Every structure is written in structure tokens, then in C-alpha cells.
Amino acid sequence: MTDNFKRRDFIKTTAAATVGGLSLAGLPGQAQGSYYVDGNDQIKVALIGCGGRGTGAAFQALSVKENVVLVAMADAFKDRIDGCYSSLTSEKNVKIKDKVKVAPENKFVGFDGYKKAIALADVVILTTPPGFRPIHFEEAVRQGKHVFMEKPVATDAPGIRRVLAAAEESKKKNLKVVVGLQRHYQTSYLETYKRVIDQKMIGDIVAARCYWNNDGVWVKKRESQMTEMEYQMRNWYYFVWLCGDHICEQHIHNIDVVNWFKNGHPTEAVGMGGREVRKGKEYGEIFDHHYVEFKYDDGMILSSQCRHQPGTVSDVSEHLIGTKGRATEGKIFDLQGKSLWRHRDTEDKNPYQVEHDVLFDCIVNNKPVNDAEWGAMSTMTSIFGRMATYSGQKLKWDDAINSNISLMPDAFTWDTLPKTLPDADGFYPIPVPGKAKVI
């Protein structure tokens, strides 16, 4: 995976897979997979990462029509496991609480617990902070497990290459993999895709804009007894090795939509960003705004904005401009602004649920679904944008994806020091455009 990964290879390999609920051709020559560990009709699930998103994903997995039970949980922190278990087994979750069958000895705390949890399951849910996704996905594939993993799937280029290598192995093993880019499973987007791509209602796509602008998310304060590793993991959103910056953690959704409709990724990126509002030490090292111009190989420019600044205009959306019209989620207009089509179905199913429905249906009925490569390439596009804003340079895709700069710590222990550390006053170094090395 150290060779240049060209756009034509990306299109060739992804076109053969079922991506995000689209009805595309199956993968040729797949080996028959083993779907259940003990040969019965019960599907055993392990949850790796027991925070809020993990709790939600476990609830959705246990809500599918198939016979699914949760048998193992793993997290670096015991309180996360306890809180998740309590939530899933509470009376308010009466429909799924009896499907939680996690014995005390199958609640694994610590950095290596994921290996033991994975071994007990048929399906693995990966919902830790994104920096851990490559090693967890790699292990799940090594053990031959089907996977649901949240986006983004890595935070640096070496991590992306690990995911791509594991993705290839998952195809050989006929494993089913869904990535939490849920717009691919959302009816309004799928109906828009039909009209824009299949029916060419807006003609050829010649430009695009996308946004994730809002107030931002939670922040965790440092407590005196925490080691540096624990503090960064508790406050993971503000450290690049764990989160990827918010251009990766959230804005990936919008960038991914444009990649999807273009059936590829950009080849150049240039951008700007910084910290104007979130300047406190509790905000770690990430920017509070990014602007990137991504250029695709046909010359199309995607203008990409994301911002975490309280009190500013909120906008989370994607917009495609064509030779005959323009489109956004569930809406298509001609060039004069006249409405040509609008999605009006108020009975659409929650796409967070649909992605699990699709995964388990594909497992039981041996249908092809493998989003891993697609998720990796959209994640890399977001990393590509971050590289551009941090460095202030115009970057090429091949240079970015082949970067050997790893953000990950040298080891995973509570005493290990992450690569980014605070100064004597508790402030972390912030990337400086023009000086930051990203490749």
C-alpha cells in the first residue's frame, strides 16, 4: 500500500462494491464467509468504544430484525463501559435490554481489551476515538469478523494505508463492512443521487460547495490525577492523533457526499485555517476553522468550509452545481432557481438505523457490502484538507496519502507521552501555516 494510490484505481475498485446502500455489482470471486461463531442463528456482537456514539450504535445493532445479542464490551475506561451497559439495560430501552448478555468477565478495560472482545463475537462495532480505528479494524479483519465502524477511519496517512490494506483482506474473507457515513443510507440522498447521477437532471457537475459550520462540541477539563495520556483521551476531540481535527471528525460527512457524487477524490488541495475563538488550553491543538479548495482531476473545484465558533451562522449542507441546474439534499433547481424536484417523504427511516439493518441483512443473506475502502478514501480527503490548512501549501494527493508522518504515540500505556505535549503553562503547540510539516 506504499505505492501511489491513483484515482483510476479507486474508481475501478469501488465501482465493483456495494457502497452505502447503492445497488451496484457484487464482488467477483468472493470466498464463502463463516457468519456465526457457533453455527446457530444468533449473531454475537462486541462493542469496542463505549461512549455516546458506541452506546447509540449498539442500540441500533440490537434493534435490527435479526437475532442479535451483545456479548462483549471493551473500552480504555471502566466508567465508559459501566455507563453504556447501564443505558442499554435501562427500562427505557425495554425493546433491546434483554439482548444485552455481557457477563462481568466479558467487560474488558484497558488498551488491549479489544482483542479479547473481538474474539467472542461475529460482528464488531468500532466506536472509539478515530485514532484507534486502524488497529482495531485490522484486528477485527485478522480474526475474520464482520464490522460496523464509525467515521473517520483514521487520523493520518499511515493509518489510512493500514485501513486500505485491511479492507483488501476483508474482501478476500467475504467480510461485511459498513462505515458510519450514514448519508449513503439516507433516502433523501439516495433519491437525489438517482436524479443527479442516473437521470442527469443538473447536467454535468462543474462545481460544488459544502459546509459544517456550527458552535462546536463538548470539552473536558483536566483533573489533577490524570496522566497526559488519560487527559488527551478524555478530551480526545481536541487532539489530532485521536480526532483528526473537526474537518475529519464532522466535516467528513459533507466532503464524502461530494466524493460520492463525483465517484472519486480530489487530486489537489489548498486552504487556510486557524484559531480565532477557541484559544484556551482546554482546546488542545486543533483549529476552530478551515477553508479548503479541493480540485478534482477533471478540474472541478469543491469549496469546503467548517467552523466551530459559538454565535456564528450554522450551516451543515452540500451543494452541487451543474451545467443545467443545481442540487442539494432532497432538492433540485434549474439555473434560474425554479424547483424541479423535492423529496417529500416524511416516513423515511433513520439512516443511523438503516446502516445496521443493511449490515445484518447482508451478513445473514450473504449479500455484498463493504464500505471500508470508500470510508478510507473519504477520510483521507478530510486529512488532505487538514494538511493543506495546517501547512498553507498547495498539496498533491499522491504526496499526501504516501506521507510517512505518523501522529500516533510510540506505545499505548497510561504513562506513555503522546507526541504533542503542553508547555509549562499548559498550552499546546498549534500548527502554523508556512511552517507546519505535514508530508
In the chain, the domains with their CATH numbers are 7-184+352-370 (3.40.50.720), 191-345+380-401 (3.30.360.10)
What is the C-alpha separation between 47 and 98, in angstroms, rounded? 16
Q: What pLDDT does 39 receive? A: 54
- Residue 414's pLDDT is what? 97
Q: What is the DSSP letter of 123?
A: E
pLDDT of residue 20: 38
Instruction: Determine if the pTM surpasses 0.85.
Output: yes
Q: Which own/partner pairs from 271-276 qualify as long-range (CB within 8 Å, at least 24 positions apart)?
A: 271/304, 271/385, 271/388, 271/389, 272/389, 272/392, 272/433, 273/247, 273/389, 273/390, 273/433, 274/430, 274/433, 275/430, 276/309
Q: What is the pLDDT of residue 250?
A: 98
* Per-residue confidence (pLDDT) for residue 347, from 0 to 100: 84
387's grid cell: 494538511
Residue type at 108 in one-letter notation: F
Note the pLDDT tens digit of each residue in 342-369.
999 878 999 999 999 999 999 999 999 9
Provide the 10 A C-beta neighbour count for residue 372: 25
Q: Would you state the torsion angle of the CA atoms of residues 304, 11, 191, 24, taken in this order, to the nearest 10 degrees? A: -160
Chunk the chain into consecutive blocks of 10 residues (it has 439) and report each block's average pLDDT, rounded to whole numbers.
42 40 31 47 96 98 98 98 98 96 98 98 98 98 98 98 98 98 98 98 98 97 96 98 98 98 98 96 98 98 98 98 98 98 91 98 98 98 99 98 98 97 97 97
Give the pLDDT score at 107: 98
Grid coordinates representing 351 are 439512516
Give the pLDDT confidence of 182-209 residue by residue, as tens digits: 999 999 999 999 999 999 999 999 999 9
Q: For residue 330, what is its C-alpha cell? A: 432532497
Q: Angle at the Cα of 242 (from 258 to 384), degrees rounded to 5?
A: 35
Distance of CA 298 to the CA centre of its chain: 26
Q: What is the pLDDT of residue 40?
A: 66
Q: Which of 329, 327, 333 is nearest to 316 (CA)?
A: 329
96-117 per-position pLDDT tens digit: 999 999 999 999 999 999 999 9
User: What pLDDT is attached to residue 6?
Assistant: 46
421: nearest Cα among 248, 231, 275: 231
